Structure 1
Amino acid sequence: MVRDVLAYLVARLLLAAALAAVVYVVGHLLSPDFPITVAVLFAIVLAFPLGIVVFAPLRHRATASIAAYDERRRTDRAQLQARLRGDEPTER
Structure 2
Amino acid sequence: MSESRQGSRLVLDVLIYAAARLLLVVALAALIFGVGHLLGVRDFPLVVALLFALVIALPLGIWLFAPLRRRATASVAAFDERRRKDREQLQARLRGDQPPAP
TM range (shorter): over 0.9
- Give the Cα–Cα distance (whole angstroms) in 1 for the partners of residues 81 and 13 of structure 2: 17
The residue type equivalent to 1:6 in the other structure is: L
- Consecutive unaligned residues in structure 2, runs of 5 or more: 1-9
Aligned length: 91
The residue type equivalent to 2:47 in the other structure is: T
TM-score w.r.t. the length of structure 2 is 0.85
Among 11, 19, 22, the alignment partner of 2:20 is 11
Q: 2:4: which partner in 1? A: none
% of aligned pairs identical? 68
- Give the Cα–Cα distance (whole angstroms) in 1 for the partners of residues 99 and 19 of structure 2: 41
- Consecutive unaligned residues in structure 1, runs of 5 or more: none
- Give the Cα–Cα distance (whole angstroms) in 2 for the partners of residues 12 and 26 of structure 1: 21
- Give the Cα–Cα distance (whole angstroms) in 1 for the partners of residues 44 and 94 of structure 2: 64
Equivalences for residues 1-92 of structure 1 within 5 A = 1-30=10-39, 31-89=41-99
TM-score w.r.t. the length of structure 1 is 0.94
> 1:7 deviation in Å?
0.4
The residue type equivalent to 1:24 in the other structure is: F
The residue type equivalent to 2:84 in the other structure is: R
The residue type equivalent to 1:77 in the other structure is: R
Contact 2:93 2:100 in 1 (8 A): no
Deviates more, 1:29-38 or 1:55-64: 29-38
Deviates more, 1:29-38 or 1:13-22: 29-38
Structure 1 residue ranges, 4+ long, deviating more than 4 angstroms after superposition: none
